[in-house]
Structure 1
Amino acid sequence: MLDQWYTGIVTRILQETANTRRFWIKMPELGRFDFKPGQFVTLDLPIHEKKNKRWRSYSIASHPNGTNEIELVIVLLEGGAGTTYLFNEVREGSELTVSKPQGAFTLPEQPDRDLFLVCTGTGIAPFRSMVHYLHLHQIPHPPIYLVFGTRTEQDLLYADEMRCLAREMPGFTYLPTLSRDENPDWWGQRGYVHAVYESLLADKRPAHFFLCGWKAMIDEAKQRIQAMGYDRKDIHLELYG
């Protein structure tokens, strides 16, 4: 059960894509909001009498930086009570009830094999947190592949930032993958995320898989990764929706 809640103040909102917004939330009662990269928070929204119908959880998209402010990236779900409230009612200066950080979707302390971070849509949030944290603190790591699937180039989140990180950070490869984009000048991957990691792992070398996104993608990835000969213990996941 969640026993610790804070009053968060929305300090900034940015429309990132047609249906996705970034929300910055500060917890004034805390000197700093400490969390591990990959963790999430739960918002208690005034949308229902019952607790379990009011709670919505979102991965923290920012990295731990010693401040009391975090960033969430949220996609508007058609008919979704939680996101409809956040998009229609919440403004800069609004208050939100925010839980303490939760979850164990975090990188191993000393990863001993290649890391494949596979995501779709706002599933990039925990991976953005992880990669920035590793880069900022110059933490040694094995090769990291971020395979990020969306429909079109307009749907990509944090694209310039990830390209910049890939240039600056040795051992980090950014692989944006578009399933429905016809742009002949597109510089990244085409198709679905599964073909990308399968092709990179044709040699079946040891790897850890971190999967984040909608259930359909995660279910297919689990199946395909095990079919490649990897163990279920090699797969870590954070399910959205």
Structure 2
Amino acid sequence: MDLYLKGKTAVVSGASQGFGRAIVKELAQEGVKVFATARNEALLNSLKEEIAAAGGVEPITFAQDFVAADGPENIAAAALASLGHVDILINNAGRSQPLDVVAPDGPWEDSLTLDFTRHRQLTQQFLPQFIERKQGAILNITSTYELRTINASAVAKAAVTVWSKQLAGELGKYGIRVNSLQPGLIDTANTRRFFNEEERNAFAGREITLGSFGEPQDIANMAVFLVSPRASYVTGSVAVVDGGMRHYPF
């Protein structure tokens, strides 16, 4: 299916590995010029090489500490200078942060900064040009894994979901769409910190309808659809890619 993305431009944060890496590769295969940003320059360079070898549109890579106070401003300035304009913004950077019930302020503040505040700030850097051009697609990668233990990242990502819905309500009149994508348990370096292979298999067999953890490509497939013109009537939504892990009342 043609997603009508050829010639579009996109910014993807947290692009060097996991979801972000898979999303950048999929966008590049669809003909999108991607500004891929993350901290790890070596991984960004290898991403560029993989895309070139696969025949995708070569991305622009930009190594930047997203958490730094000037991170969002630097990323936005470099992206606009490189691309001219941005059609698509995918806020993906983040890291799980388990905490004790009573925890110091530092880890809470660090996680809220990374998983919410910097995404809000980066988005606000691009909003004037989205509004001026009366078009744009914003996708926020959040989480569906409703833990029974304290995790600061999950709290911040819940805030992102609410903020996304509010943005969608404000920006629809400008032709700008805003959606959230909630991954379930996906086999990435982030989840491997908490589940070894034996534990993944046992958990998936017990809790996930499709019987396995997902792959980053599963997230990329949905993400690229949601930012494409094929999803032009989808905004304010929360898409779930979790293999049937969550149980709903209806």
Quickly name the TM-score band, shorter chain normalised. under 0.3
Structure with the larger helix share: 2
Structure with the larger strand share: 1
What's the TM-score, normalizing by structure 2? 0.25
What's the TM-score, normalizing by structure 1? 0.26
